[in-house]
Amino acid sequence: MGDVPKKNTVNLSHPDDLETIKTKRTLSLQNPGMPVAFQGRFLHSSGHYTWLEGTLTNLLHVKGVNAMVTNFRDITQRKEVEEKLIKSEKIYRTIASSIPGSAICLFDADYRYLLIEGDMVEKLGYSKDKLLGNKAEDVLLPEVFAGIQNEFKKVLEGETITRESMSAGYDIISRFIPLKDENNIVYAIMTVAIDVTKLKNAQRDIAELNRGLEEKINQRTEQLRMINKELESFSYSVSHDLRAPLRIIDGFARILMEDHLQKLDEDGQHSLNVIMGSAQKMGQLIDDLLHFSKLGRSEMRMVKVNMDDLVEEVLRELKNGGISIPAGLKHNKLKKADGDNNLLKQVWVNLISNAIKYSGARKDPLIEIGMMEKNDKHIYYVKDNGAGFDMQYADKLFGVFQRLHKEGEFAGTGVGLALVQRIIARHGGSVWAEAKINEGATFYFTLPEHNSI
């Protein structure tokens, strides 16, 4: 009980409650001895209004008392909660009715429906009128109540719970939220249910699509694997089956050469040489092509490659293979690169032997192997002062079996640069060339860095 308001009850009434209180007093005066209940705001001694609830009893006729007796208690706090609920109810109602596909309910601590709002209420098969004011356990199907009872209990202890469920053909996400007063006491439970059927359907569609996609990828991978396998066996039988008749052509031409040469005139002997030379050439083409397809398919082993060592190794091997390295060959310092050692070796072999081949006709062949740095990129190059080529045909340079020089001028099958390009492309780098006829050519390539190495 707070401080008793001084003066009399009527004088201290809140102006808004004054009429009610006056009526109560009149009622009390007219009914001596009968307690009349009242509720209203009264001025506190400290200047603010408090809510009081009590009874007024006319005891004017009782000897020794001769007064109007008032019993009351302060209900300010309760009134405030009620006001809060009324205020928030409005908010909930507004929210729920303005969100399509939602349902908001408020329950008191006894699970009694205080508020039900939202278009989902009816869609889920409930009627607002039947629920409102009733306890959940009395109006819900026992199995439905059993399904939420646990959640309610936890929410009363202050927990917030989210759950997904399926109801009446709708995908629903429900949230159970405790409403707490200033002292952190849960005075009500709010449930918010949102229809997420469309979202769920989209999710299901995406999952379905993903499954389909995965299946398709697996199918394609399998197809690719089959094609690769076919290609492999094709390569194998090409090398096997095409080489056999070539060997026979060469062998029988050789029989003519060895045993019957005197019967052939000069023209016949020339024809024989062409036959044998062409058989050799075709053998070389088949070998190169196989090499090309094999390099394109082989597994890559990425390491830090010491390009200087690699170039020295290549020069040594070329020399051992009977190719004379010109005195004018300069090997500048190179930085390390990320790549497959064997494949990069093949790149250097092809570029360096090309440079030697195409500058071979000059008296003073110069070859420079080096590196430039541009925008953090390492650009390796092989430069020669040889035959060069017309830049007009530069796009044909890297095609398989493409040659920019006549057969008689320089030997070769036209696979070397195609191989270089394929290897660099597999590394994710690029290769290009600059040249001028009779002044030489420079071949450049870059390799991207791999952080994992």
List contacts with another protein (CB under 8 A): 235-236, 239-241, 243-244, 246-248, 250-252, 254-255, 279-280, 282-283, 286, 290, 294
In 64-217, which ranges are E strands? 67-74, 102-108, 113-117, 161-167, 170-180, 186-195
Closer to another protein by Cβ: residue 175 or 281: 281
* Residue 42: φ, ψ to 5°: -130, 150
Amino acid at 307: M
CB of 284 to another protein, least distance (A): 8
Closer to another protein by Cβ: residue 283 or 414: 283
Cβ-in-10-Å burial (0-12, 13-18, 19+) of 242 comes to: middle
Closer to another protein by Cβ: residue 12 or 276: 276
Task: Give the residue from 41, 58, 37, 39 showing the smallest Cα distance to 49.
Answer: 41
b/e per residue 95-108 (b: at least 16 CB within 10 A): ebeebebbbbbbbe
CB of 273 to another protein, least distance (A): 14
Closer to another protein by Cβ: residue 254 or 362: 254
Closer to another protein by Cβ: residue 163 or 247: 247
Closer to another protein by Cβ: residue 20 or 239: 239
Q: How many CB atoms lie within 10 A of CB 328?
A: 14
CB of 388 to another protein, least distance (A): 33
CB of 278 to another protein, least distance (A): 11
CB of 330 to another protein, least distance (A): 37
Return all residues near 184 (Cβ < 8 A) that are at least 6 apart: 158
Amino acid at 107: F
Cβ-in-10-Å burial (0-12, 13-18, 19+) of 344 comes to: buried
Return all residues near 152 (Cβ < 8 A) that are at least 6 apart: 107, 111, 136, 176, 189
CB of 276 to another protein, least distance (A): 9
Closer to another protein by Cβ: residue 294 or 377: 294
Instruction: Determine contact, residues 17/40, Cβ cutoff 8 Å.
Output: yes
CB of 411 to another protein, least distance (A): 16
φ/ψ bin of 438: left (φ > 0), alpha (ψ from -120 to 50), beta (otherwise): left
Return all residues near 413 (Cβ < 8 A) that are at least 6 apart: 281, 284, 285, 288, 401
Closer to another protein by Cβ: residue 272 or 282: 282
Closer to another protein by Cβ: residue 220 or 297: 297
CB of 304 to another protein, least distance (A): 31
CB of 247 to another protein, least distance (A): 5
